[in-house]
Protein backbone atom coordinates (compact mmCIF):
# COMPACT_ATOMS: atom_id res chain seq x y z
CA UNK A 1 0.00 0.00 0.00
CA UNK A 2 2.89 2.39 -0.72
CA UNK A 3 2.36 6.01 -1.78
CA UNK A 4 5.12 7.12 -4.14
CA UNK A 5 5.84 10.84 -4.62
CA UNK A 6 7.58 12.06 -7.78
CA UNK A 7 7.68 15.85 -7.96
CA UNK A 8 9.47 18.81 -6.35
CA UNK A 9 11.87 17.27 -3.84
CA UNK A 10 11.97 20.13 -1.35
CA UNK A 11 8.19 19.92 -1.00
CA UNK A 12 8.50 16.13 -1.08
CA UNK A 13 10.32 16.23 2.26
CA UNK A 14 7.36 18.17 3.71
CA UNK A 15 4.93 15.64 2.24
CA UNK A 16 6.91 12.88 3.95
CA UNK A 17 6.67 14.62 7.32
CA UNK A 18 2.90 15.16 7.09
CA UNK A 19 2.33 11.61 5.82
CA UNK A 20 4.29 10.13 8.71
CA UNK A 21 2.22 12.23 11.11
CA UNK A 22 -1.22 11.55 9.64
CA UNK A 23 -0.90 8.05 8.17
CA UNK A 24 1.95 6.35 10.07
CA UNK A 25 0.89 2.92 8.80
CA UNK A 26 0.98 3.87 5.13
CA UNK A 27 4.49 3.64 3.60
CA UNK A 28 5.44 6.86 1.78
CA UNK A 29 8.48 7.00 -0.52
CA UNK A 30 10.21 9.74 -2.47
CA UNK A 31 11.30 9.14 -6.06
CA UNK A 32 13.73 7.60 -7.06
CA UNK A 33 13.77 5.49 -3.87
CA UNK A 34 10.78 3.42 -5.02
CA UNK A 35 11.38 0.23 -3.03
CA UNK A 36 9.46 -2.79 -4.34
CA UNK A 37 7.46 -1.46 -7.34
CA UNK A 38 4.80 -4.13 -6.80
CA UNK A 39 3.79 -2.47 -3.50
CA UNK A 40 3.19 0.95 -5.09
CA UNK A 41 -0.57 1.52 -5.14
CA UNK A 42 -0.70 5.31 -5.29
CA UNK A 43 1.47 7.66 -7.31
CA UNK A 44 1.56 11.43 -6.66
CA UNK A 45 3.43 13.05 -9.54
CA UNK A 46 3.96 16.18 -11.60
CA UNK A 47 5.18 14.02 -14.46
CA UNK A 48 4.86 10.24 -14.12
CA UNK A 49 7.52 7.92 -15.55
CA UNK A 50 6.95 6.90 -19.20
CA UNK A 51 6.70 3.21 -18.49
CA UNK A 52 4.18 3.64 -15.68
CA UNK A 53 1.96 0.65 -16.55
CA UNK A 54 4.86 -1.81 -16.65
CA UNK A 55 6.80 -0.24 -13.78
CA UNK A 56 3.94 -0.34 -11.24
CA UNK A 57 1.71 -3.35 -11.97
CA UNK A 58 -0.54 -2.83 -8.92
CA UNK A 59 -1.19 0.87 -9.27
CA UNK A 60 -4.70 1.92 -8.15
CA UNK A 61 -4.68 5.72 -8.33
CA UNK A 62 -2.53 8.42 -9.91
CA UNK A 63 -2.63 11.94 -8.49
CA UNK A 64 -1.46 15.02 -10.34
CA UNK A 65 0.43 17.06 -7.77
CA UNK A 66 -0.98 20.19 -9.47
CA UNK A 67 -4.51 21.38 -10.32
CA UNK A 68 -3.91 20.86 -14.05
CA UNK A 69 -3.15 17.58 -15.81
CA UNK A 70 -2.01 18.84 -19.22
CA UNK A 71 1.57 17.82 -18.37
CA UNK A 72 0.43 14.16 -18.26
CA UNK A 73 0.37 11.99 -21.33
CA UNK A 74 -2.97 10.45 -20.39
CA UNK A 75 -2.66 7.78 -23.09
CA UNK A 76 0.24 6.22 -21.15
CA UNK A 77 -1.78 5.72 -17.98
CA UNK A 78 -3.35 2.30 -17.55
CA UNK A 79 -7.03 2.70 -18.60
CA UNK A 80 -8.41 1.23 -15.36
CA UNK A 81 -6.40 3.57 -13.10
CA UNK A 82 -8.20 6.84 -12.26
CA UNK A 83 -6.24 10.09 -12.63
CA UNK A 84 -7.09 12.56 -9.88
CA UNK A 85 -6.14 16.23 -9.95
CA UNK A 86 -5.22 18.25 -6.88
CA UNK A 87 -8.18 20.10 -5.38
CA UNK A 88 -6.74 20.97 -2.00
CA UNK A 89 -7.60 24.35 -0.41
CA UNK A 90 -4.00 25.64 -0.37
CA UNK A 91 -3.94 25.90 -4.19
CA UNK A 92 -7.16 27.90 -4.21
CA UNK A 93 -6.00 30.24 -1.44
CA UNK A 94 -2.76 31.05 -3.24
CA UNK A 95 -4.38 31.46 -6.66
CA UNK A 96 -6.96 33.87 -5.24
CA UNK A 97 -4.16 35.93 -3.71
CA UNK A 98 -2.11 36.04 -6.92
CA UNK A 99 -5.06 36.72 -9.23
CA UNK A 100 -6.37 39.56 -7.05
CA UNK A 101 -2.87 41.07 -6.83
CA UNK A 102 -2.52 40.91 -10.63
CA UNK A 103 -5.98 42.23 -11.44
CA UNK A 104 -5.33 45.18 -9.11
CA UNK A 105 -1.88 45.69 -10.66
CA UNK A 106 -3.42 45.76 -14.14
CA UNK A 107 -6.24 48.00 -12.97
CA UNK A 108 -3.83 50.51 -11.35
CA UNK A 109 -1.30 50.52 -14.26
CA UNK A 110 1.49 48.90 -12.27
CA UNK A 111 3.16 47.50 -15.39
CA UNK A 112 3.38 51.01 -16.87
CA UNK A 113 4.68 52.45 -13.57
CA UNK A 114 7.42 49.83 -13.37
CA UNK A 115 8.52 50.98 -16.84
CA UNK A 116 8.35 54.62 -15.80
CA UNK A 117 10.52 53.95 -12.76
CA UNK A 118 13.07 52.17 -14.94
CA UNK A 119 13.09 55.21 -17.28
CA UNK A 120 13.11 57.68 -14.35
CA UNK A 121 9.82 59.24 -15.48
CA UNK A 122 7.60 60.88 -12.82
CA UNK A 123 4.18 60.98 -14.49
CA UNK A 124 0.63 60.45 -13.26
CA UNK A 125 -1.77 58.28 -15.20
CA UNK A 126 -5.50 58.87 -14.89
CA UNK A 127 -7.27 56.61 -12.41
CA UNK A 128 -10.36 54.63 -13.37
CA UNK A 129 -12.79 53.65 -10.60
CA UNK A 130 -13.19 49.91 -10.10
CA UNK A 131 -16.91 50.22 -10.84
CA UNK A 132 -15.92 51.21 -14.39
CA UNK A 133 -13.40 48.41 -14.95
CA UNK A 134 -15.02 45.15 -15.98
CA UNK A 135 -13.19 41.94 -15.09
CA UNK A 136 -13.98 38.78 -17.05
CA UNK A 137 -12.80 35.32 -16.05
CA UNK A 138 -12.51 32.49 -18.59
CA UNK A 139 -13.03 29.15 -16.84
CA UNK A 140 -15.54 29.06 -13.99
CA UNK A 141 -14.17 26.01 -12.22
CA UNK A 142 -12.85 25.72 -8.70
CA UNK A 143 -10.26 28.48 -9.14
CA UNK A 144 -12.19 30.82 -11.44
CA UNK A 145 -15.14 30.91 -9.05
CA UNK A 146 -12.93 31.44 -5.99
CA UNK A 147 -11.14 34.35 -7.69
CA UNK A 148 -14.43 35.98 -8.69
CA UNK A 149 -15.76 35.60 -5.16
CA UNK A 150 -12.83 37.56 -3.72
CA UNK A 151 -12.87 40.17 -6.51
CA UNK A 152 -16.42 41.09 -5.50
CA UNK A 153 -15.07 43.08 -2.56
CA UNK A 154 -13.39 45.59 -4.94
CA UNK A 155 -16.60 46.58 -6.71
CA UNK A 156 -15.49 45.58 -10.24
CA UNK A 157 -18.37 44.60 -12.53
CA UNK A 158 -17.72 40.87 -12.94
CA UNK A 159 -18.26 38.51 -15.87
CA UNK A 160 -17.49 34.86 -16.41
CA UNK A 161 -17.29 32.57 -19.41
CA UNK A 162 -17.46 28.79 -19.24
CA UNK A 163 -18.15 25.70 -21.27
CA UNK A 164 -21.28 24.69 -19.36
CA UNK A 165 -23.73 27.21 -17.88
CA UNK A 166 -23.06 28.64 -14.42
CA UNK A 167 -25.13 30.83 -12.16
CA UNK A 168 -23.00 32.89 -9.76
CA UNK A 169 -24.49 35.71 -7.69
CA UNK A 170 -23.05 39.07 -8.76
CA UNK A 171 -21.39 37.67 -11.91
CA UNK A 172 -22.79 37.90 -15.43
CA UNK A 173 -22.16 34.41 -16.77
CA UNK A 174 -21.79 33.31 -20.38
CA UNK A 175 -21.60 29.74 -21.61
CA UNK A 176 -20.30 28.20 -24.81
CA UNK A 177 -18.26 29.30 -27.80
CA UNK A 178 -21.14 31.28 -29.35
CA UNK A 179 -21.24 33.67 -26.41
CA UNK A 180 -17.51 34.37 -26.34
CA UNK A 181 -17.68 37.56 -28.46
CA UNK A 182 -20.35 39.08 -26.17
CA UNK A 183 -18.31 38.25 -23.09
CA UNK A 184 -15.11 39.67 -24.58
CA UNK A 185 -16.78 42.87 -25.77
CA UNK A 186 -17.54 43.78 -22.15
CA UNK A 187 -14.26 42.72 -20.56
CA UNK A 188 -11.58 45.30 -19.69
CA UNK A 189 -9.37 42.90 -17.73
CA UNK A 190 -9.38 39.33 -19.03
CA UNK A 191 -8.29 36.51 -16.70
CA UNK A 192 -7.55 33.08 -18.18
CA UNK A 193 -8.17 30.24 -15.72
CA UNK A 194 -8.99 27.53 -18.23
CA UNK A 195 -7.45 24.06 -18.28
CA UNK A 196 -5.19 23.44 -21.29
CA UNK A 197 -6.94 21.02 -23.65
CA UNK A 198 -7.11 20.52 -27.40
CA UNK A 199 -10.08 22.95 -27.37
CA UNK A 200 -8.40 25.71 -25.40
CA UNK A 201 -4.86 25.59 -26.80
CA UNK A 202 -4.11 28.91 -28.51
CA UNK A 203 -7.40 30.48 -27.40
CA UNK A 204 -5.64 33.72 -26.41
CA UNK A 205 -4.95 34.83 -29.97
CA UNK A 206 -5.23 37.88 -32.25
CA UNK A 207 -8.90 37.22 -33.07
CA UNK A 208 -9.81 37.06 -29.38
CA UNK A 209 -7.76 40.17 -28.51
CA UNK A 210 -9.50 42.12 -31.29
CA UNK A 211 -12.88 41.44 -29.67
CA UNK A 212 -11.84 43.04 -26.37
CA UNK A 213 -12.31 46.79 -25.83
CA UNK A 214 -9.22 48.59 -27.20
CA UNK A 215 -6.49 48.82 -24.56
CA UNK A 216 -7.81 45.89 -22.50
CA UNK A 217 -5.48 44.05 -20.13
CA UNK A 218 -4.65 40.36 -19.87
CA UNK A 219 -3.81 38.04 -16.99
CA UNK A 220 -2.82 34.50 -18.01
CA UNK A 221 -2.63 32.15 -15.04
CA UNK A 222 -3.84 29.12 -17.00
CA UNK A 223 -1.05 27.62 -19.09
CA UNK A 224 1.49 28.98 -21.56
CA UNK A 225 -0.16 26.91 -24.31
CA UNK A 226 -3.32 29.03 -24.10
CA UNK A 227 -1.43 31.98 -25.52
CA UNK A 228 -0.23 32.65 -29.07
CA UNK A 229 2.88 34.57 -28.10
CA UNK A 230 3.43 36.48 -31.37
CA UNK A 231 -0.21 37.64 -31.26
CA UNK A 232 0.26 39.02 -27.75
CA UNK A 233 3.36 40.99 -28.74
CA UNK A 234 1.56 42.40 -31.79
CA UNK A 235 -1.51 43.31 -29.70
CA UNK A 236 0.62 45.10 -27.08
CA UNK A 237 2.75 46.91 -29.67
CA UNK A 238 -0.33 47.97 -31.64
CA UNK A 239 -2.32 49.22 -28.62
CA UNK A 240 -4.98 46.52 -28.91
CA UNK A 241 -3.92 45.50 -25.40
CA UNK A 242 -2.21 47.83 -22.93
CA UNK A 243 -0.57 45.37 -20.51
CA UNK A 244 -0.27 41.71 -19.65
CA UNK A 245 0.64 39.76 -16.54
CA UNK A 246 1.83 36.26 -17.39
CA UNK A 247 2.55 33.56 -14.83
CA UNK A 248 2.93 30.77 -17.36
CA UNK A 249 4.86 30.23 -20.58
CA UNK A 250 5.62 27.51 -23.08
CA UNK A 251 8.19 26.16 -22.64
CA UNK A 252 9.03 26.71 -19.00
CA UNK A 253 11.48 28.05 -18.07
CA UNK A 254 11.14 30.76 -20.72
CA UNK A 255 14.31 30.63 -22.90
CA UNK A 256 16.98 33.35 -22.57
CA UNK A 257 16.44 36.20 -25.01
CA UNK A 258 12.70 35.57 -25.39
CA UNK A 259 10.87 38.87 -26.09
CA UNK A 260 8.65 38.47 -23.00
CA UNK A 261 11.66 39.00 -20.72
CA UNK A 262 12.11 42.60 -21.79
CA UNK A 263 8.75 43.71 -23.16
CA UNK A 264 7.79 46.95 -21.37
CA UNK A 265 4.12 45.99 -21.18
CA UNK A 266 4.60 42.50 -19.77
CA UNK A 267 5.01 41.53 -16.14
CA UNK A 268 6.27 37.97 -15.92
CA UNK A 269 6.42 35.53 -13.00
CA UNK A 270 7.84 31.97 -13.12
CA UNK A 271 4.69 29.85 -12.70
CA UNK A 272 4.33 30.67 -9.02
CA UNK A 273 0.73 31.93 -8.95
CA UNK A 274 -0.16 28.91 -6.92
CA UNK A 275 1.57 25.85 -5.63
CA UNK A 276 0.23 22.83 -3.83
CA UNK A 277 0.48 23.18 -0.07
CA UNK A 278 1.81 19.87 1.34
CA UNK A 279 0.01 20.22 4.66
CA UNK A 280 -3.47 20.34 3.10
CA UNK A 281 -2.59 18.24 0.04
CA UNK A 282 -1.71 15.24 2.24
CA UNK A 283 -5.20 15.38 3.78
CA UNK A 284 -6.74 15.56 0.30
CA UNK A 285 -4.74 12.54 -0.91
CA UNK A 286 -5.60 10.49 2.20
CA UNK A 287 -9.27 11.40 1.90
CA UNK A 288 -9.30 10.42 -1.80
CA UNK A 289 -7.60 7.09 -1.06
CA UNK A 290 -10.21 6.39 1.63
CA UNK A 291 -13.04 7.21 -0.79
CA UNK A 292 -11.47 4.98 -3.42
CA UNK A 293 -11.25 2.08 -0.97
CA UNK A 294 -14.92 2.52 -0.07
CA UNK A 295 -15.80 2.51 -3.77
CA UNK A 296 -17.14 6.10 -3.67
CA UNK A 297 -16.90 8.68 -6.49
CA UNK A 298 -13.68 10.72 -6.48
CA UNK A 299 -14.28 14.51 -6.63
CA UNK A 300 -11.06 15.34 -8.51
CA UNK A 301 -11.28 12.52 -11.04
CA UNK A 302 -10.18 13.63 -14.50
CA UNK A 303 -12.42 12.90 -17.45
CA UNK A 304 -9.95 11.44 -19.95
CA UNK A 305 -12.08 12.36 -22.95
CA UNK A 306 -12.40 16.03 -21.97
CA UNK A 307 -8.75 16.18 -20.87
CA UNK A 308 -9.42 17.90 -17.52
P1 LIG B 1 -11.54 23.15 -13.03
O2 LIG B 1 -11.47 21.87 -13.76
O3 LIG B 1 -12.20 23.21 -11.71
O4 LIG B 1 -12.23 24.25 -13.92
C5 LIG B 1 -12.01 24.40 -15.29
C6 LIG B 1 -13.18 25.20 -15.85
O7 LIG B 1 -12.88 25.51 -17.22
C8 LIG B 1 -14.49 24.42 -15.82
O9 LIG B 1 -15.48 25.24 -15.27
C10 LIG B 1 -14.73 24.09 -17.29
O11 LIG B 1 -16.08 24.07 -17.69
C12 LIG B 1 -14.04 25.24 -17.99
N13 LIG B 1 -13.67 24.84 -19.35
C14 LIG B 1 -12.97 23.75 -19.74
N15 LIG B 1 -12.85 23.72 -21.08
C16 LIG B 1 -13.50 24.81 -21.53
C17 LIG B 1 -13.74 25.33 -22.83
N18 LIG B 1 -13.30 24.70 -23.94
N19 LIG B 1 -14.44 26.46 -22.95
C20 LIG B 1 -14.91 27.10 -21.84
N21 LIG B 1 -14.73 26.65 -20.57
C22 LIG B 1 -14.02 25.53 -20.43
O23 LIG B 1 -10.03 23.68 -12.91
P24 LIG B 1 -9.41 24.69 -11.85
O25 LIG B 1 -10.28 25.88 -11.73
O26 LIG B 1 -9.01 23.98 -10.61
O27 LIG B 1 -8.03 25.06 -12.59
C28 LIG B 1 -8.03 25.70 -13.84
C29 LIG B 1 -6.64 25.74 -14.43
O30 LIG B 1 -5.83 26.69 -13.75
C31 LIG B 1 -5.81 24.45 -14.34
O32 LIG B 1 -6.21 23.52 -15.32
C33 LIG B 1 -4.42 24.96 -14.57
O34 LIG B 1 -4.14 25.00 -15.95
C35 LIG B 1 -4.46 26.39 -14.04
N36 LIG B 1 -3.65 26.53 -12.83
C37 LIG B 1 -2.56 27.35 -12.85
C38 LIG B 1 -1.77 27.50 -11.74
C39 LIG B 1 -0.62 28.45 -11.73
O40 LIG B 1 0.14 28.46 -10.76
N41 LIG B 1 -0.44 29.27 -12.75
C42 LIG B 1 -2.04 26.76 -10.50
C43 LIG B 1 -3.25 25.97 -10.54
C44 LIG B 1 -4.00 25.85 -11.69
P45 LIG B 1 -17.14 22.92 -17.25
O46 LIG B 1 -17.82 23.49 -16.04
O47 LIG B 1 -18.06 22.78 -18.39
O48 LIG B 1 -16.36 21.68 -16.98
* CA–centroid distance, residue 200 to ligand 1 (Å): 10
Q: Which helix (H) or strand (E) holds 135?
A: strand 135-138
CATH number of the domain located at residue range(s) 2-88+276-294 in this protein: 3.40.50.720
pLDDT in tens, the chain (308 residues): 999 999 999 999 999 999 999 999 999 999 999 999 999 999 999 999 989 999 999 999 999 999 999 999 999 899 999 999 999 999 999 999 999 999 999 999 999 999 999 999 999 999 999 999 999 999 999 999 999 999 999 999 999 999 999 999 999 999 999 999 999 999 999 999 999 999 999 999 999 999 999 999 999 999 999 999 999 999 999 999 999 999 999 999 999 999 999 999 999 999 999 999 999 999 999 999 999 999 999 999 999 999 99
Segments making up each domain of the chain, as ranges: 2-88+276-294, 90-268
Q: Are the folds of 2-88+276-294 and 90-268 the same?
A: yes
Ligand 1 neighbours (beta carbon < 6 A): 66-68, 91, 95, 139-144, 162-164, 193-197, 199-200, 221-223, 247-248, 271, 273-274, 308
Residues 298, 280, 193, 83, Cα dihedral to 10°: -30
Residue of 191, 298, 308 best suited for mutating to test ligand 1, as the one with most atoms within 8 Å of CB: 308
Q: CB-based burial of residue 253 (10 Å sphere; 0-12 exposed, 13-18 middle, 19+ buried)?
A: exposed
Q: Which of 223, 226, 263, 265 is catalytic?
A: 223
pLDDT at 42: 98
Residue of 139, 147, 272, 303 best suited for mutating to test ligand 1, as the one with most atoms within 8 Å of CB: 139
CATH superfamily of 90-268: NAD(P)-binding Rossmann-like Domain (3.40.50.720)
| Ligand 1 atom, smallest distance to 248 CA | 41
Q: Which of 94, 201, 271, 304 is catalytic?
A: 271
Annotated catalytic residue 223: yes
* CA–centroid distance, residue 67 to ligand 1 (Å): 8
**Backbone phi, psi, residue 221, to 5°:** -115, 10
Closest residue to atom 7 of ligand 1, CA basis: 139
* CA–centroid distance, residue 83 to ligand 1 (Å): 16
> According to DSSP H, which parts of the chain are helical?
9-22, 52-55, 89-107, 110-118, 142-151, 180-185, 206-211, 229-237, 259-262, 278-293
* CA–centroid distance, residue 176 to ligand 1 (Å): 14
pLDDT at 50: 86
Peptide bond just before 32 cis, omega within 30 deg: yes
Evaluate whether ipTM surpasses 0.95: yes
Annotated catalytic residue 134: no
pLDDT at 156: 98
Amino acid sequence: MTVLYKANMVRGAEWATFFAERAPDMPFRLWPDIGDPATVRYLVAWQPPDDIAAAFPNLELVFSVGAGVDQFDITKLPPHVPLVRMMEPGITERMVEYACMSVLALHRDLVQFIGQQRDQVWRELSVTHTSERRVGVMGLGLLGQAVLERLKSFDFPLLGWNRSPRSIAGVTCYAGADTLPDFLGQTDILVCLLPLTSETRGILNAKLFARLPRGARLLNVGRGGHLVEADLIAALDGGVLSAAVLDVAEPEPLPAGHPFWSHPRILLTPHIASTTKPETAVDYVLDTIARHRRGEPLPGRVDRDRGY
